[in-house]
């Protein structure tokens, strides 16, 4: 069965620090997709990125970067030079291709607090 | 707006009452999902529609939960005889197509409190 683990429950940093949010996943499927979502205090989950299991290239988007490593089943998310507006709960999620299941399996989330 | 909308945003129900939660997906999105999010937890899958067909309801916790999407657009999640353990945020999401690679766009959720 699929599973996503986000071991860091809460992280607190001071503005401009770099921070990495960890995500470890389990799946038996050979084709799968990994996602990161941001949930600000307003509650609406905001899509950040999707990676497929065949593409291990790291990705950078502005201050955000993602490190996908199949060898360790990890998909970590780094925010460079954090800002107060980055304060939110971040969720890593997994979907599988060959099981027919279309739902996302989420981790329990990491609450990031960026202090000014 | 062009996003997923849900109503009501907040609902307080007395134990034993029935409730109905509405979701308006993004226009043209084929897939629609319902998730339940308990406080401090990640969303957990309830049910999935492809157009009007309910293809997966494996996450519905009991037969008190029922969902429909009769015309392939708006969906309603109904909870009968609410219990305190039903208190949670109910999230609706839609995606453009049916494949697992398509990102899901979420609504703001309905916070249900059962007293």
Q: Is the pLDDT reported for residue B1 higher than 60?
A: no
* Contact (Cβ atoms closer than 8 angstroms) between residue B88 and residue B81: no
Q: Is the pLDDT reported for residue B16 higher than 80?
A: yes
- Residues of chain B positioned with their CB less than 8 A from the CB of A43: 89, 108-109, 111
pLDDT score at B23: 98
pLDDT digits (tens, 9 = 90+) for A44-96: 999 999 999 998 888 889 999 999 999 999 999 999 999 999 999 999 999 99
Q: Is the model more confident about B7 or about A42?
A: B7
Interface contact flag, A43 B103, Cβ < 8 Å: no
* Cβ-based burial of B2 (10 A; exposed 0-12, middle 13-18, buried ≥19): exposed
pLDDT score at A22: 98
User: How far apart are alpha carbons A44 and B64 in whole angstroms?
Assistant: 26
Cβ-nearest to B108 among A42, A47, A91 = A42
pLDDT score at A98: 79
The 8-class DSSP code of residue B25 comes to P
* Contact (Cβ atoms closer than 8 angstroms) between residue B79 and residue B16: no
* Contact (Cβ atoms closer than 8 angstroms) between residue A109 and residue A91: yes
pLDDT score at A57: 84
The chain B residue lying nearest A45, using CA atoms, is B106
Q: How confident is the model at residue B102 (pLDDT cuts 50, 70, 90)?
A: confident
pLDDT score at B98: 78
pLDDT digits (tens, 9 = 90+) for B42-82: 999 999 999 999 999 999 999 999 999 999 999 999 999 99
pLDDT score at B99: 78
Distance from CA of B17 to the nearest CA of A (A): 25
Cβ-nearest to A103 among B42, B45, B98 = B45
pLDDT digits (tens, 9 = 90+) for A13-52: 999 999 999 999 999 999 999 999 999 988 899 999 999 9
Alpha carbon distances (Å) from B40 to A8, A29, A107, B110? 13, 28, 11, 16
User: How far apart are alpha carbons A71 and A75 in whole angstroms?
Assistant: 11
pLDDT score at B84: 97
């Amino acid at each position: 069965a699929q599973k996503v683990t986000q071991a860091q429950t809460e992280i607190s940093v001071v503005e401009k620090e770099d921070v990495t949010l960890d995500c470890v996943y389990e799946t038996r499927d050979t084709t799968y997709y990994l996602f990161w979502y941001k949930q600000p205090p307003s509650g609406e989950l905001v899509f950040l990125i999707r990676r497929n299991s065949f593409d291990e290239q790291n990705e950078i988007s502005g201050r955000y970067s993602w490190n996908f490593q199949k060898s360790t089943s990890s998909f970590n998310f780094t925010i460079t030079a954090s800002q107060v507006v980055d304060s939110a709960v971040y969720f890593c999620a997994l979907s599988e291709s060959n099981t027919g299941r279309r739902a996302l399996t989420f981790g329990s989330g990491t609450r990031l607090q960026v202090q000014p | 707006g062009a996003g997923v909308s849900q109503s009501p945003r907040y609902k307080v129900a007395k134990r034993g009452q029935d409730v109905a939660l509405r979701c308006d997906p993004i226009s043209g999105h084929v897939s629609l999902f319902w998730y339940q999010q308990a406080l401090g937890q990640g969303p957990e899958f309830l049910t999935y529609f492809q157009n009007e067909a309910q293809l997966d309801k494996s996450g519905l916790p009991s037969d008190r939960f029922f969902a429909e999407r009769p015309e392939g657009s708006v969906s309603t999640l109904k909870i009968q005889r609410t219990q305190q353990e039903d208190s949670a945020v109910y999230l609706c999401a839609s995606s453009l197509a049916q494949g697992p690679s398509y990102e899901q766009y979420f609504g703001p959720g309905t916070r249900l409190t059962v007293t």
